[in-house]
Amino acid sequence: EDQVTQSPEALRLQEGESSSLNCSYTVSGLRGLFWYRQDPGKGPEFLFTLYSAGEEKEKERLKATLTKKESFLHITAPKPEDSATYLCAVQASSGGGADGLTFGKGTHLIIQP
């Protein structure tokens, strides 16, 4: 069974204080690892897809990295508007392209001014 574990569950940072969120996963064969941002009462907003170990992607203050067992979402000099829940999800390669994602519980990030 595919599993995704995110840590920490919650993180409070001061504005400008950089940190990393962790996503450990077990999957029969990884097709892709996804990072989403979710604001309260809203749907997940796509951030990144990573496909193979060693891959890195960046968007503004966010950088996602991938190893064979985990992924990190690094946030550099965060601003209050980066406050959200960050979700990690995996898709197994065992099935077709329409396979569902397995999500973690998320990391609730609060950036204080």
Instruction: List contacts with another protein (CB under 8 A).
Output: 31-32, 34, 36, 41-46, 49, 87, 89, 91, 95-106
Closest CA to 35 of 60, 10, 57: 57
* Shortest distance (Å) from residue 103 CB to another protein: 4
Judged by beta carbon, residue 54 or residue 96, the one nearer another protein is 96
* Shortest distance (Å) from residue 41 CB to another protein: 8
- Report, in angstroms and rounded to the nearest whole number, the Rg of the chain calculated over CA atoms: 14
Pairwise CA distance, residues 78 & 50, whole Å? 22
* Shortest distance (Å) from residue 86 CB to another protein: 12
Judged by beta carbon, residue 53 or residue 77, the one nearer another protein is 53
Q: 19 CB contacts (<8 Å, ≥6 apart)? A: 11, 13, 74, 75, 78
Q: Are 67 and 51 in contact (CB under 8 A)?
A: no
Judged by beta carbon, residue 43 or residue 113, the one nearer another protein is 43
Judged by beta carbon, residue 65 or residue 91, the one nearer another protein is 91
